[in-house]
Amino acid sequence: MVSIIKNRLVVLGVIAVLASVISAATAHEGASGIVKMRMEKFKQSQQQLKSLIAHTKAEKYDEVARLAGYLAEWGAQIPAHFPEGSTQKPTEARPEIWIDFENFTAKAEAFRLAAIRIEEAARLNDKGAISQAIQDTAASCKS
């Protein structure tokens, strides 16, 4: 019973993060260049995370592993999508990203490592570990 409640809380937390990403994505109309590219990548990762959660519920662990692999790849690419000077509107990226880029890079790495843990747990068919890694991934998105 506790496991079911924990899984539902994880899913609700991730949905809340995804909802904020979706609302931000619609606010970015008119973007171009690297800003548009990173917004599209974030939108794609949001969709992959949403699918990953559905596949976890359905215990389709091969799909979970595949999607987590994509998220891990994106995590490695995130810092390169925030070059200095890419602050033009309509970006909603916070100035703190460039002020403390080392911290931002560490958060992207935390995202990548959490996605790798999802992939590893999926290969072991470990739903509990997948749920914890999803929670960690969602937490890294909030940073």
Q: In whole angstroms, how far apart are CA 28 and each of 8, 31, 43, 78, 104?
A: 30, 6, 11, 18, 21
Tokens of 87: 């602050």
pLDDT of residue 71: 95
Separation of alpha carbons 108 and 122, rounded Å: 21
pLDDT of residue 135: 87
Separation of alpha carbons 121 and 30, rounded Å: 39
Helices (H) and strands (E) in the chain, counts: 6, 0
Tens of pLDDT along 7-55? Answer: 554 554 555 444 554 445 455 577 888 889 999 999 999 899 899 999 9
pTM given for the model: 0.76
Residue 80 CA, distance from chain mean position:
16
Tokens of 38: 């990173």
pLDDT of residue 17: 47
pLDDT of residue 54: 94
pLDDT of residue 127: 94
Tens of pLDDT along 67-91? Answer: 999 999 999 999 999 999 888 788 8
Residue 95 CA, distance from chain mean position:
20
Q: For the purposes of burial, counting CB atoms within 10 Å of the CB of 93, is it exposed (0-12), middle (13-18) or buried (19 or more)?
A: middle
Single-letter amino acid, residue 128: G
Separation of alpha carbons 38 and 13, rounded Å: 23
pLDDT of residue 12: 47
Tens of pLDDT along 96-141? Answer: 999 999 999 999 999 999 999 999 999 999 999 999 999 888 887 7
1: pLDDT strictly greater than 90: no
